[in-house]
Amino acid sequence: MVTNERRHNTDIAFHEDEVKLAKRMMDTLRTTVEFLYYLMDHRNRASFTMILISTDGLKLDTMLQNWKRETDILFEIDKTNNVYVLICQSTDHEGAEKFAEILLSNIHVNGGTSTYCVAAELKSTNSTIQEVIFTMVEKYMAIKKDHDSERIFFTRAENRDPDSTQDIIYK
């Protein structure tokens, strides 16, 4: 029976929480990223990086608020599951890597466990906002499923395979 086969095939079905996370990210980030895309296209503004981060055992909101710069924009995506996004303006891949390493180190020192981190540098507006956000969510879900915590995963909207080994990974 086809119906029973689909229910057991996890490759084509997503958990409710995963779909809701993608929706919350789109609802929360879309307008801000649209504005940053506008600035990139019409005001020749530099790239920016988005960092999706979560951890267990430590409330991230206060820590992230203390560590971010005035130009960084902090979004609470899911308070219950401690999921946040930082948009770091004028931040390239190298700067995002260093900042994410500092965050991971401080989270660990302050008792955070199972920290998951996905980042995407946006250098152009070639990818749609939806592609960028959904690619980050896909990667986040994949690393959580694999329990691949305490590392920083960089991803690109052009790289559609969330399980790809081509992602740049830092530990």
Tally of domains within the chain: 1
Indicate the pTM of the whole model.
0.84
CATH of residue 87: 3.30.70.270
Q: What is the mean pLDDT of residues 105-121?
A: 95
- The strand order across the sheet containing 83-89 reads 72-78, 83-89, 48-56, 113-122, 151-154, 168-170
Give the tens place of pLDDT for each residue, 20-29: 999 999 999 9
Residue 159's pLDDT band (cuts 50, 70, 90): very low
Supply the angle between the helices 93-109 and 60-67 in degrees, to the nearest 10: 130
Using CB atoms within 10 Å of the CB of residue 149, give its burial: 0 to 12 exposed, 13 to 18 middle, 19+ buried. middle
Q: What burial letters (b/e) apply to 6-27, b meaning 16+ CB within 10 Å?
A: eeeeeeeeeeeebeebbebbee
Domain that holds residue 123: 2-6+13-170
